[in-house]
Amino acid sequence: MKDPQGFTTLGAITAVEHDKATVTLHCGEARLRLLLLTDDVVRLRVAPPGASFGRDFSYALDPGTTWHGPSALTVEENDAIVRIQTGALTIQTEKTTCRLQILDATGRILFADEAGPAWENAGSNGTDTVSHVALSARLRPGERLFGLGDKTVTLDRRGHRFALWNTDAFEYQRGTDPLYKSIPFLLSLHDGAACGLFVDTTQRMTVDLGAEANDRLRVEAPGSALDYYVLAGATPLAVLQQFARLTGRTPMLPKWALGYHQCRYSYRNEGEIREVARELRARRIPCDALYFDIHYMDGFRVFTWDRDAFPDPAGLIADLKQDGFQSIVIIDPGVKADDPAYGIARAGHAHDAYIKQPDGSPYTGKVWPGACHFPDFTNPAVRDWWGPLHAELLKQGVAGVWNDMNEPAVFIEDLEEATAITMPEDLRHDYDGHPTDHAEVHNAYGMQMLRATYEGLLRLAPERRPFTITRAAYAGTQRYGTTWTGDNTSSWDHLKLAVEQCLSLSVSGTPFVGADVGGFVGTPDGELLARWTQLGALMPLFRNHTTLGTPPQEPWVFGEEVERICREAIELRYRLLPYFYTLLWEAATDGLPMLRPLALPHPADETIRREAPLGFYLGSSLLAYPVLDAGQIQMNAYLPPVPGGWYDVHTGRHHPGDGGTVVPVETPLDRLPLFVKAGSIVPFQPVLQHVEENPVEELTLHVYPTPGAFTARLYDDAGVGWAFKNGD
């Protein structure tokens, strides 16, 4: 049988095999294998005729997770269907077509094939090896789809078509596609039920979510095997926790990572960065981290310093540390190839570290230093070589590493003729002992660079929690650090995109996210910077950043009023650090997102479904409605139904209403609407100029009552190191 695109589908079931956790359906020469990881997580693998199920290898999956199978598994069949049941799911498969549907314990359909799995054969006669695989599933009226990482459309992805191919998308705009990250995970909400779909391939993928046919979801990718997961749960948050269990949780970061970060491309010399540090402290604007962009290097050679601009890096970093600033340096993947005196390049050759052309010679591409070779981070020996290269930086006092340009980006001389600003797809990689081409590796390259960085920092300083940040990502990247939304622009629409992208990344398993405050490309006015700083104060990663050639963008350059408003927003962030740190701990231990779209805790709320307001939860207690339009001095905020209603954080006013209510809110420039759910206890601490300024010996607990008993979680530890794992 053929699907609407002419791909071959599975066809009739001819035999059924099963054991305690696996069911294999034979469809002639093709096979569909279902592996029940738990009662409510199923892995599905498709082997077309003449093909295997493919390598049982994935960068996405957390190697630390152990799956114990379902509590019970029954398999029944009659003339029409094969029925598979666990303690939470029923999977029914039509015998004539091998199309399946997955139902929860109440009988609600969570996932249903349309044409189901399918494949295309290469060659003019269509009988050669399988070249592409696809999956088509039914979309129901009213079904909403969230996820796919940093895509620049509305939170609900329904009705759009996307490409997943990591791309250096400088100055991207709404609708630009593809972007920096490829995370092929979707969260479906329908009729109050939630379901996750994760298609595990690092190949270039197209995802059609009802664009061509409004009742069909279709994913398609090169390759000969299809490997995907369906995840169920009692709530949307429970589904996301399952995805975190599958692909890993963020590590605990140093507490200072939750402070305010100041950056630009670039602070060109020691004097400039010292001046920024002095101004921050003199103006009493709290800040924990300063960044060194690429101009700190000698000719953009990684792991070097420009000694004319930064004659004493260790002394500078020590002085900044004395004033409470952590220093973060950028490291790109390109290693300058045409300088015989450059020791890192020579060492890379000695370790056979570089990505190879099909003829076995190192690939050369152009980036900031000029001609460069690129380490093959999919080779464990190369990762082991790369990590120790950070030793001198750590010795100099560097506290964090920022990996950029790792889509990977490669400069193309003639962009009009270029098909992609990256390296050729036929280059060769090790792929952790499974040699393959760049076409398969591409979307995981940035992730494996971040892995090499994180694991290297951990080996060099095992007593410290690494801080790393990456621009490119694939599913599972959160195991190795943090990310941001890339080269955004200074506009009100990008302020709105910052909300949508960070919420979507949070749904996609990436909890520690942020967008460049003020916009990277262009110049904000004072109002936009003030509103963006207020929003940034509620994002996990809170960093002001701008590009080369733009005017200064620090909080004080727009006049006293904007400086005061930015200071107050940053101070609110520091007052709320106990709450943020608890959220970080929940993300690291329970897989809970720090930022949450309104639909997550309220999947059946019709107002949220119909109007899609851009408020969001910060944890389970705080609800923010950022001001996203110029000149806005009033808004109507929708407060979802919760027992006991809501309180305005700024005024203390109580808004009762278990059924949900719209309240008018004044939004002068110095106020971001922020509400707290009744029955919450929110910890506040005194304002600090940086996290390590003074020990926090006293917290103020703000109690927002509701009838009956209520509790809250509060987590704290030393903020550095790993003693917390032993309960210290």
From first CA to last CA, the distance across the chain in angstroms is 61
**CB-CB neighbours of 651 under 10 Å:** 10
| Cα distances (angstroms) measured from residue 486 to each of 523, 665, 705 | 16, 32, 41
DSSP label at 2?
B
E strands, 484-630, in order: 542-544, 595-597, 616-618, 622-624
Torsion over CA of 122, 124, 128 and 134, rounded to 10 degrees?
Answer: 30
Residues 6+ apart with CB under 8 A from 624: 538, 615, 616, 617, 618, 672, 673, 674, 675
Alpha helices in 332-473 (DSSP H): 343-350, 380-386, 391-395, 438-460
Q: Which of 3, 200, 332, 407 is catalytic?
A: 407
Active site annotation includes 407: yes
Q: Which of 3, 270, 376, 404 is catalytic?
A: 404
Q: For residue 99, how far is the Cα from the chain centroid?
A: 32
Nearest CA to 377 out of 403, 399, 354, 409 is that of 354
Active site annotation includes 487: yes
Structure tokens at 605: 């709320």
Nearest CA to 633 out of 663, 670, 660, 599 is that of 670
What are the φ/ψ torsions at residue 316 (nearest 5 degrees)? -60, -50
Active site annotation includes 404: yes
Q: In terms of DSSP bridges, do strands 674-677 and 646-648 run parallel, antiparallel, or are they unpaired?
A: antiparallel
Nearest CA to 494 out of 174, 218, 194 is that of 174
Please state, in angstroms and rounded to a whole number, the distance separating the CA atoms of residues 162 and 151: 8
Residue with tokens 């540090």: 277
Task: Evaluate whether 34 touches 91 at the Cβ level (below 8 Å).
Answer: yes
DSSP label at 358?
T
Q: Which of 156, 220, 487, 500 is catalytic?
A: 487
Single-letter amino acid, residue 469 = I
Single-letter amino acid, residue 532 = W
- Edge-first strand listing for the sheet containing 41-47: 15-18, 22-27, 30-38, 41-47, 226-232, 193-199, 185-190, 144-147
DSSP string, 529-559: HHHHHHHHTTSSSEEE---TTSPP-SGGGG-
Structure tokens at 648: 């305005």
Alpha helices in 405-491 (DSSP H): 438-460
Please state, in angstroms and rounded to a whole number, the distance separating the CA atoms of residues 134 and 141: 23
Residue 701: burial class (beta carbons within 10 Å; 0-12, 13-18, 19+): exposed
| Cα distances (angstroms) measured from residue 314 to each of 268, 271, 297, 677 | 17, 15, 14, 47
Residues 6+ apart with CB under 8 A from 393: 303, 329, 401
655-692 b/e with 16+ CB inside 10 Å = b? Answer: bebeebbebebebebebbbbbbbbbbbbbbbebbbbbb
CA angle 221, 226, 228 (to 5 degrees): 105
Task: Evaluate whether 524 touches 553 at the Cβ level (below 8 Å).
Answer: yes
**CB-CB neighbours of 186 under 10 Å:** 22
DSSP label at 595?
E
What are the catalytic residues? 404, 407, 487
